[in-house]
Amino acid sequence: MTTSDDGGGALGHEHLDKLTENLRKVEALSKRLMEVMSHKTTHNPALNAPNQELFTRAATAYWSQAMQNPAKLLEDQIEFWGKSVKHFAEAQQALAQGKLVAPEDPGPSDKRFSNPLWDSHPYFNFVKQQYLINAEAIEQAVAGVEGMDAKEKRRLSYFAQQIVDMMSPTNYLATNPDALEKALETEGQSLVQGLENLIADLEANDGELVVRLADEQAFEVGGNIAASPGEVVYRNRMMEVIQYKPSTETVHETPVVLFPPWINKFYILDLKPQNSLIKWVVEQGYTLFVVSWVNPDRSYAEIGLEDYIEEGVLAAIREVKAICGVEQVNAVGYCIAGTTLSMALALMKKRGDKSVKSATFFTALTDFSDQGEFTPFLQDDFIDGIEEEVAEQGILRSYIMSRTFSYLRSNDLVYGPAVRSYMLGEAPPAFDLLYWNGDSTNLPGRMTTQYLRGLCQRNEFCEDGIKILGETLHVKDVSVPLMSISCETDHIAAWKDIYRGVQQMGSRSKIFIVSESGHIAGIVNPPSKKKYGHYTNSDLKGDANAWMEGATFHEGSWWPRWEEWLSKRSGKQIPARDIGDSDHPGLAPAPGTYVVAKSKA
């Protein structure tokens, strides 16, 4: 680490004075920090960690195993002790010999430890190596626990990993060479700016720490993102329906109505022209309508899945049919809105309603028999806590859901950004995707409970059926021609789980696709990027592994394949439609008013 401009080993007086001055600023800012923390918004403590029963069961299983096989316990302990003592002895020996160098073998690569000092500086290398030894010991201890339920073991592994990630030396100033170097280079200004960033994030979220991932001043919804031209042509308490302006002289007769998830906002599909699915669909010659969901406040406490179906999906389809003068539409549902679309289709089947000609699902789960990476949060202790939270607040506040998603990728979405912002004093990047990720929404209390209990825990839609709007709905009742797009590395809706649900759907015409990449990048994958490919296989009789073994890989985006399928179900070409009609005048320019409403408690 350089400590002076001329490469010398000591700070000059001017630099030392400046550093001292900035450290005084840190002290003053600390008082402001304490002030904002004293007014911190509270939430149900059960949402912070699993109840103690999980750790009690783990400890009981561990010690029971130790009593039955003490040699195994001693073996694990001695291995850990041996590595730690050997590591310390080697460092002591190097010091005694005056060799202040790190060992030749720096250990496994990890992007958290990209600074060369982690490998070349004896102090930082010692800290890193001991952390890795400790992490390995914890991981081995958890992996070796026997006699626990598989779900409980999965939860134990997740929370143990959270401890390992939190304790990384990169997360602490005294053991982070990047932060220490930056503090000296900037004469402490980076620490001042970092604390300013921390306090700003706390103040913006009523004392709750939500790390800002993107520069919020760099984007304007309806300005440089979500800027495709269109008009809101219908509005009710649940949604706005946006009709997009045609860009071709003729269009397919059958319109497309797209339902995005109401967890986050629809403009992930319209960030910028280069990767806008909305713009691309319009350019292919379709009349496109997109739903923009309301961001609910406490007055929406009793809104349930039935309201999202009746006043959302069914209302949008009804109004689109009226505007276009058609009997059928092609419907698209993304994530939770795809799950809801599938239930709506089952309800329409029961009612004899044939308004949907085909359905497309983007990363939409219907079979929740395997809870995947959300297993730690879908057990009774957490859901009991959520029920208590929504009973008190009326809604599941946006930061709680946002925090849950972030901790599934904690190093990338929590600790890494926190280090850059709070210890290095860097401004968050001007990254549209991360801006959208931070523009989160609340969830109605009743709907949250229905989803977590009825679908996630009891898997009612695929088991005995879920009772909604006077009908018992089952996945087998989804009988329209359909295409389902899943994503290979999706940690929110795993492709194998989506596949199981599609297999159970009653349609005689089903196409299943697996796109490369994850929940967002696998869907927002324009052909012009030539980035991610996709897999296809028409044989859906076997399990997911058999499907993938027999699948064909295709270079490039799945968008053109979907459009070719969609065009065959979209009727003849007609002159491009004007926006709205006499009964549906323009209420506001796209992207509408609901999308710009911020989360409120």
**Does pLDDT of 173 surpass 90?**
no
Task: Tell me what pLDDT residue 93 has.
Answer: 66
Calculate what percentage of the chain has a pLDDT beyond 70: 83
Token pair for residue 447?
Answer: 């709907």
Distance of CA 95 to the CA centre of its chain: 46
Residue 262 has pLDDT above 80, yes or no: yes
**Residue 88 — φ and ψ, nearest 5°?**
-65, -40
pLDDT digits (tens, 9 = 90+) for 202-250: 887 777 778 888 998 999 999 999 999 999 999 999 999 999 999 999 9
Q: How far apart are CA 435 and CA 440, in angstroms?
A: 10
Which band of pLDDT confidence, cut at 50, 70 and 90, is reported for residue 110? confident
At 116-167, the pLDDT tens digits run 988 888 888 888 988 898 888 888 888 877 777 788 888 888 888 888 888 8
* Phi/psi at 259 (5° precision): -110, 105
Closest listed residue to residue 336, CA positions, set 305, 382, 306: 305
Per-residue pLDDT at 5? 43
Question: If you average pLDDT over residues 325-351, what whole number do you get?
Answer: 98
- Please give the pLDDT value at position 396: 93
* Residue 577: partners with Cβ closer than 8 Å, 6 or more residues away: 246, 251, 287, 323, 324
Calculate the CA 295 to chain-centre distance. 18
- Identify which has the larger pLDDT, 435 or 48: 435
DSSP 221: B
Q: Please identify every residue annotated as catalytic.
A: 335
DSSP H helical ranges for 284-361: 305-307, 315-324, 336-351
Please state the separation of Cα 409 from the chain's center in Å: 8
Q: Which helix (H) or strand (E) holds 444?
A: strand 443-444
Residue 561 structure tokens: 């394949």
Phi, psi values for residue 427, rounded to 5°: -75, 145
Q: Which residues pair with 319 in a beta bridge?
A: none
Q: Are 277 and 232 in contact (CB under 8 A)?
A: no
Cα distances from 383 to residues 171, 286, 565, in angstroms, run 30, 42, 40
Closest CA to 598 of 190, 265, 285: 265
| pLDDT for the residue 78 | 53
| 3-state class (DSSP) for residue 553 | strand
Look at 174-183, 257-266, 324-333, 442-451 and tell me which has the smallest mean pLDDT: 174-183
Q: Regarding predicted confidence, which is higher, 309 or 52?
A: 309
Pairwise pLDDT comparison (234 vs 111), residue with the higher score: 234
Kindly report the average pLDDT of the chain as a whole number: 86
Q: What is residue 339's predicted lDDT score, i.e. its pLDDT?
A: 98
Bridge partners (DSSP) listed for residue 251: 574
Class of domain 230-375+428-596: alpha beta
Kindly give the residue spans of alpha helices, DSSP state H, lying in 167-297.
177-185, 189-204, 277-283
Query: How does pLDDT run across 273-290, given as a tens digit for each residue?
Result: 999 999 999 999 999 999
pLDDT in tens, 44-101: 666 665 555 655 555 555 545 544 555 555 555 555 555 555 556 666 666 666 665 5
How many CB atoms are located within 10 Å of the residue 563 CB?
17
Sequence spans of domains, the chain: 56-175, 230-375+428-596
pLDDT computed for residue 115 by the predictor = 92
Query: Which amino acid belongs to residue 425?
Result: G
Mean pLDDT, residues 100-112: 67
Do residues 261 and 598 lie in contact, with contact meaning Cβ atoms separated by under 8 Å?
no
**In the prediction, which pLDDT does 63 show?**
47
pLDDT surpasses 90 at 533? yes
* pLDDT exceeds 50 at position 12: yes
Q: What is the 3-state secondary structure (H, E, C) of 489-544?
A: CCCCCCHHHHHHHHHHCCCCCEEEEEECCCCCCCCCCCHHHCCCCEEECCCCCCCH
Instruction: Name the nearest CA neighbour of 316 among 399, 425, 405, 239.
Output: 239
Could you report the per-residue pLDDT of 369-421, keeping only the tens digit for each?
987 777 878 888 888 889 999 999 999 998 888 887 788 788 888 889 999 99
Please give the pLDDT value at position 284: 98
Q: Report pLDDT for 390.
A: 93
Q: Is 263 helix (H, G, I), strand (E, B) or coil?
A: coil
559-600 pLDDT tens trace: 999 999 999 999 999 999 999 999 999 999 999 999 998 755
| 469-490 pLDDT, tens digit each | 999 999 999 999 999 999 999 9
Q: Is 195 exposed, middle or buried (0-12, 13-18, 19+ CB in 10 A)?
A: buried
